[in-house]
Amino acid sequence: MTSNLGQTALRRKKSTQDPMRAYDSLPRPLRLWLANAAMPWSPKSCERIWRRARARGETTPAILAKLDRAETATLAKHQI
């Protein structure tokens, strides 16, 4: 029996970064938020949100509130 990957012309993506190292490199407030998040977030996506908000001059509490709102909206969208 062959795997599905053997039946496609698409190239496989290989992660270039260790997920725990990505998590450990996040700012402490963001790591704490992720540790208590209700759904799984990728460190990469959280870091992207964090950096963009910081570039706009947002404070740490404002960024964490934005992440809370995004998580609440996502959970509400997927509830049955």
CB atoms within 10 A of CB 44: 13
More confident residue, 5 or 66: 66
pLDDT at 58 over 70: yes
Q: For residue 54, what pLDDT is reported? A: 97
The domain limits of the chain are: 19-77
Q: What is the mean pLDDT of residues 3-23?
A: 71
Q: Is 33 helix (H, G, I), strand (E, B) or coil?
A: helix
Confirm if 33 and 71 have CB atoms less than 8 A apart.
no
What is d(CA 35, CA 10) in angstroms, rounded to the nearest whole number?
34
Residue 42 token pair = 């990728």
